[in-house]
Structure 1
């Protein structure tokens, strides 16, 4: 297979959107599709090599994995080593423990399995996982464990069926991905069965399934159509796009179209432009280094990279990538300087070292002795959550019986809401226990208590709300309903949504029940316990300050416009802003205790303050 400059240029079209997406550059909300482009390129190039050698009867698994180790392990090993060192120095207790676990998984090419069980790619918590991006490397390596063996077996036992078998597996993987595109567990995003079709799309090109396009005008049309497909996905997709599945067809087919048709076209000449080829050459190292640099910078500054910080991090990512490519990737790919035996020994030693370091850090646990007691006291705010959160939250998804909190009496109240209601329910339960009443907790993550609301990525939300309202109607003993949600997240300050909330309040009141609306909790632009711990570490805890009150009011303008009307109808309002904010700013700590356990969920301390003072 002769060298193609346009494929290196296509690598640039894959890595640049990923970098710009992770760096929060506007206009690149769908940049994560760059990973799918990489899958197609990998499937095409490596299948071409495997198929040619298998057909010639000279394929060797040992030689194949030697090439994979040369390509993957040296730069990856160095990056993991640096990440472990920086994490041990920078990360607070509670954040550190996950890093060596993910490092162990990344070293064993199983990080997609780890992150599938640990977090979602777009979910909270991803911002403190500097090895999250290694999930895609794990998918590839798992694919290449079985695919070469499959081709060998087909050539030996059913050579005429090779194309049909590969097409059937690709079709099955694609259909599974589409069938599971609403999956919220992470299976569809992280795991090989729903991603294999993207690699197999490139493999089918390498196997000659798609006939060559001879007409110049047709190749031009298909190639530019490929660029348009990629540009559409990068520019129009975002975190709420159901992905992968049908949406993944645009970048995958776009990449396949360019691989198949770009040579000899104007699109191919564009991809062969020297700057793009240069980026493509260092794309692997750029992929490895950019995400940890972004994560560590945001962790240290307690804010997303923006402005000059963004430019500095992106520049640093390129510098690290070029150095890694020049002094790590290239020397290890030189089979004259690094014979096969050396590569296998190096790979074994590297994996043993990284596994040992990861296990040692795992044994060390949170390692609190690295920090002063004042720092640890602030960091501990992340654990100031309802002791009933695990048992009582998201019960609808588990089919469990809703929790009754407070005194040991039949409940006469209900808290209905999303995850913001969990600690508020516990704070109410403390009052209820003292006063002799009880409440039912019905909280579902990312699901505000609004009838008719359909969560973009979660079909269970509407069903959970219907079940909550039906349970309310079936139990006349429930006389009071508390409504709590993340009202200030931006999505809900929409007149159409507020109208649905208005109708929901009316429906509850029509059942003869009192409504208590718990208003918007001011979200912060940083993780509060982490921010306070960093300030304590720097001796600047007195500078702790939350968002401006004016910003909160502007964020919830449509919601707040109805407060007076609701109160006139008898709806009681508990306004967190009354308890947390003065005329200028909102507080994030009181008496040395964080009022939040992350950036927008109140801690138990904060929830108790709101319930006590928010009326």
Structure 2
């Protein structure tokens, strides 16, 4: 999930002074609004905000600027206290955060099916302890569930920031004591190192670059350098206007033109980070500052922390309950509900706790300790209940079990190239005469094919790599794909015993139907044929707009499994026009086609269950049940 930083923090209050001038800047609250609104609209699937996730970067810059200014000024005045600093952090972050986590635990315990509930208390523990970025970094893969069932996923960025502020004040204190003249240089060098690491690792697919502090710290340091006076002030009015509007343009272009396929973060994070820095540095006294200071923007900026906290759980729970992405009237209702919840949270929770006259320092520390203890106890209690299956009827639980309909060989045999492991041979104990080459869609299909092969005394090799279709030279999603595919092709060429090659991928994902991709696939098939190999194309699996076992479980709970229906055949055909033309042409030249669409769909719609069992283990991967059916019907 792309997401913004909740505590960069939109929750740092209404009286955040310019470090130099020591006064409140309305335009920065307006800038907070320009950060949170794209995030909200991006998560709500509103067209035109495909890059709205860059709000995290904007928030990080704002936080680095405001909080560094406060810390540096107090250190320079000889009145900085770590205890007071953390009091302010707890005062501004914990009350609203604790209430949100508590509400998420309650809602998930009421709504979530057992397999989905188990992850929520784990993430609640991590969020409570400001370690959720570490948890979500490790909680990846097909067995961990997607962002659509993680209502606390957005707390990763809060954890990044709080981890940053464990060490940063200490660094500034040490520099003030031992190397005051080197303060800017040291901060700049650390920022440069963090940026260099982010760029170096920007194509990393493990989640390290996205979730962890070392590759995110430079964004906070960008604001910190502004607060420390590393950038000279801009005096001419025209120059400030130019810089401010250029910063706005940089942010706007990122929000508009970035999307989920953009390699991010890394060098692509520079435009929103620099854009936010330009607005902070140059906006005062300009027309841009007057726009950012407009009451509606300032109002949204004031509630932006609470809006961040509440919008994501509301979206996740609504989509979970309806088994559909937000759209139409539902989208409007959820966005409005998020704004209302944020306003109430700001007025009734944030404001009272930020008032030291109403809540003295000793009380905020006691509250924080008690809230963290309560949330940890509740999370551990839910964990001990193991998903709490007694809440649901047996038919619903039986459908939900489809989420675990994996090939027994998946963990051992998938992604062997990325793990430098030997590819698996499935089937009989004999020399394999076939290979399945593909992405994750091929795993269960390889297992189903191996059962047929074993029945006739044969065997096949599985070479499947996540997000890597079997196309030579393809590296759009992961630079390792090209190497993995080249290794598979070389293995085929080097082993004359491999007479048949099955090719499987998520063909209907919406990205593989372009003429350029199809031309590469065409050349790959031709290259295999030139080696004298029989090629078997396994066509597109119809993708569903919902998690299939979950949808069937919801229907079973309501006694309506007869209403189960997948996407229309017309939808699938519309996503694979060029691919189908290619497959038909190769069929005419003797290439065999196993077509999941023909196996699973009639003239109108596509099936999602067979004999009362789910055909998929998520929204687009066939489970073993579905793979067996496709192989059997595909001949």
The TM tier, using the shorter chain, reads: over 0.9
Counterpart position of 2:596: 576
Partner in structure 2 of residue 562 of structure 1: 582
Paired residues, number: 613
Assess if the C-alpha contact under 8 Å between 2:39 and 2:55 holds in 1: yes
**2:224 matched to which residue of 1?**
203
Q: Which residue of 1 aligns with 2:367?
A: 346
Q: Any conservation in 1 of the 2:202–2:264 contact (CA below 8 Å)? A: yes
Deviation at 1:120, TM superposition (A): 8.3
Structure-1 separation of matches of 2:357 and 2:206 = 46
Task: Identify the match of residue 293 of structure 2 among 264, 268, 272.
Answer: 272
State the 1:54 CA deviation.
0.6
SS of the equivalent of 1:521 reads: coil
Q: TM-score, normalised by structure 1?
A: 0.98
CA contact 2:467–2:477 (8 Å) conserved in 1: no
Task: For 1:328 and 1:358, locate their aligned partners in 2 and report how far apart those are by CA, in whole Å.
Answer: 22
Instruction: Trace 1:120-159 onto structure 2 (pairs within 5 A).
Output: 125-159=146-180
Q: Which deviates the most, 299-308 or 487-496?
A: 487-496
Give the superposition deviation at 1:124: 6.7
Q: Hey, what's the Cα distance between the residues in 2 that align with 1:331 and 1:466?
A: 61
- Paired position in structure 1 for 2:17: none
Q: State how far apart, in whole Å, the 2-side matches of 1:562 and 1:357 are.
A: 55
Provide the rounded CA distance (Å) in 2 between the counterparts of 1:595 and 1:421.
Answer: 15
- In 2, Cα distance between equivalents of 1:346 and 1:562: 64
Shift of residue 562, structure 1, vs aligned partner: 2.8
Instruction: Return the offset for 1:535.
Output: 0.7
Matches within 5 A, 1:526-605: 526-605=546-625
Q: 2:208 maps to what in 1?
A: 187
1:202 & 1:388 partners in 2: Cα distance?
49
1:460 match: 480
- SS of the aligned residue for 1:3 comes to coil
Give 3-state SS (helix, strand or coil) of 1:416's partner.
Answer: strand
Contact 1:120 1:185 in 2 (8 A): no
Quote the residue 1:495 is aligned against. 515
Which of residues 317, 328, 331 in structure 1 aligns to 2:352? 331
Per-residue CA distance 1:451-475 (angstroms, 9 max, x = gap): 1222x23111011111001000110
Q: Is the 8 A contact 1:577 1:614 kept in 2?
A: no
SS of residue in 2 equivalent to 1:481: strand
Which aligned pairs between 1:390-429 and structure 2 lie closer than 5 A? Answer: 390-429=411-450
CA drift at 1:522? 0.7
For residue 77 of structure 2, what is the aligned residue in structure 1? 56
Inter-partner Cα distance in structure 2 for 1:120 and 1:541: 29
Q: Distance in 2 between matches of 1:563 and 1:182?
A: 32
- Partner deviation per Cα, 1:20-39 (whole Å, 9 max, x = no partner): 11111111111001011111
1:94 counterpart SS class? helix
- Cα deviation code 1:42-82 (max 9, x no counterpart): 11111111111111111111111111011000000000000
Distance 1:495 1:187 in 2: 33
- Alignment-derived partner of residue 105 in structure 1: 126
Answer whether contact 1:524 1:546 (CA < 8 A) is retained: yes
CA offsets per residue over residues 222-278 of structure 1, 9 Å max, x none?
A: 111110111011011111212111111111111111111111100000000000000
Question: Which has the higher mean CA deviation after the structures are superposed, 560-569 or 132-141?
Answer: 560-569
Deviations 1:75-96 (CA, angstroms, capped at 9, x unpaired):
0000000000111111112111
Distance 1:103 1:338 in 2: 25
Shift of 1:568: 2.1
Q: Distance in 1 between the 2:225 and 2:515 partners?
A: 49
Cα distance in 2 for residues equivalent to 1:463 and 1:211: 47
**Could you say which residue in structure 1 is the equivalent of 2:26?**
5
TM-score after normalising by structure 2: 0.95
Q: Which segments of 5 or more consecutive residues in structure 2 lack a partner in the other structure?
A: 1-21
Alignment of 1:56-455 (within 5 A): 56-119=77-140, 125-454=146-475
2:626 paired with 1:606: yes
Contact 1:120 1:186 (8 Å CA) reproduced? no
Q: Distance in 1 between matches of 2:346 and 2:367?
A: 18
Distance 1:408 1:440 in 2: 12
Deviation digits for residues 119-174 of structure 1 (CA, Å, limit 9, x no counterpart):
389x9701110000101100110011001111111111111111111111111111
Specify every segment of 5 or more residues in structure 1 that has no aligned partner in the other structure, as ranges: none
Deviation at 1:365, TM superposition (A): 1.3
CA deviation vs aligned residue, 1:367-425 (integer Å, no higher than 9, x gap)? 11110000000000010110000000000001111100001111011111110000000
